[in-house]
Structure 1
């Protein structure tokens, strides 16, 4: 099977192209796509618990900690202790952070509008359905691996 005939090749190459496009636009604003995704996931008014951000965007906690430090140094966010859970910290956007968040949202919106101008809603529905099925396959494989691992541990 040629790589161009594999599902993962097309997903990966498309995501890399999207990521490059987003990074180019983010670089013009002085930040990265990853920072843009973090900004999008911070509630502007109430702040967001730091522990909630990493799982929302698929980041390791260590990576997020470094990124939040960089974002704080760039003046995009500030931290405050959580009033309810004193062990937790909430992340808030500065005015500059709000501006960069809006730019990130607009970049994503513009890309989606461009795609929708050449791909019909019917085609998108099929596309989304196919991706749900692919995610189901991934979930099944992961579940089977976890079950196999648990059996191996029990047998050990």
Structure 2
């Protein structure tokens, strides 16, 4: 199969291009795409339990811990004891973190708006339908359900 016609190649190549683009924008603010992703997933008003962040973002605990440490060192977040569970911590945005979150959100909106302006509604609907189908097939373990060996 020609790699340009391979679905996984197109997904991977596109995601790598998007990640590079976001990292270039984040670098202008002394940040990273991963940090921006964390900022966007922290509840602005109430904070978010640290134990909820990893699963929410599909991130491994060690990677998340490293990012949270960097964010805390830069003053973007603070950690507070969870009043409902003394064993866990709530991650809260500082004023600086809220500002950085606004910048991150602006970049996401700009990206989405540029794509929406550049494709038809039908193409966008098809894109979401295809990606939803891929995610459902994977979640339902339908891709390799017969334990077929790769050739």
Counterpart in 1 of 2:116?
116
| Offset at residue 142 of structure 1 (A) | 6.8
Instruction: Quote the RMSD (CA, aligned, Å).
Output: 1.7
Gaps of 5+ in 2: none
C-alpha distance in 1, partners of 2:117/2:144? 40
1:99 aligns with 2:123: no
Counterpart in 2 of 1:8?
8
TM-score by structure 1 length? 0.89
SS, match of residue 43 in structure 1: coil
Counterpart in 1 of 2:135?
135
C-alpha distance in 2, partners of 1:72/1:132? 35
| 2:137–2:143 Cα contact (<8 Å) kept | no
| Offset at residue 144 of structure 1 (A) | 6.1
C-alpha distance in 1, partners of 2:86/2:140? 39
Deviations 1:106-153 (A, max 9, x none): 1000000000111122211111011111112222337966x97xxxxx
| 2:50–2:89 Cα contact (<8 Å) kept | yes
SS, match of residue 89 in structure 1: strand
C-alpha distance in 1, partners of 2:137/2:90? 36
Structure ranking higher in helix proportion: 1
SS, match of residue 29 in structure 1: coil
Number of residue pairs the alignment of both structures matches: 147
